[in-house]
Amino acid sequence: MSQTSTPCAVLVIGGGTVTALAGGLISLADLGVRTTRRASHLEFNDATNEWDVLTPDRKLTLYSHADYDNALAWERDLFNRMLAGETPTPGVSLPVAAIS
């Protein structure tokens, strides 16, 4: 285990989700065993000339937009909604203020 020179705090809410790190430096290795899983994929679709947000298995397109930043903003909102317990519906746009 590495040592930090400044005390740190890790805020964890239900289910073990880390929501914030506060304080000084902390090594993620010091947190112990972690697991990750993809919530989606963001890929450029040559056929449509748009950016597609795809399900983790890449079988369904959840959202498409010609502008990368708009697709990325939608994907970010998707993550937040999934953390809140919502299930994404393919082809249904989420209302995101950042998307024009």
- Tens-of-pLDDT digits for all 100 residues of the chain? 555 455 555 555 556 565 555 555 667 677 777 676 777 889 999 999 999 999 888 988 989 999 999 998 888 887 777 777 777 665 555 544 334 3
Beta bridge partner(s), residue 53: 42, 63
How high is the pLDDT of residue 4? 45
Q: Based on the domain organization, do 16 and 42 belong to the same domain? A: no
Q: Based on the domain organization, do 73 and 94 belong to the same domain? A: yes
Q: Based on the domain organization, do 90 and 47 belong to the same domain? A: yes
CA angle 16, 77, 47 (to 5 degrees): 120
Q: Based on the domain organization, do 5 and 44 belong to the same domain? A: no
How high is the pLDDT of residue 95? 45
Q: Based on the domain organization, do 58 and 82 belong to the same domain? A: yes
Number of domains forming the structure of the chain: 2
Q: Based on the domain organization, do 51 and 29 belong to the same domain? A: no
- What DSSP state is assigned to residue 67? S
Range of the domain at 67: 38-100
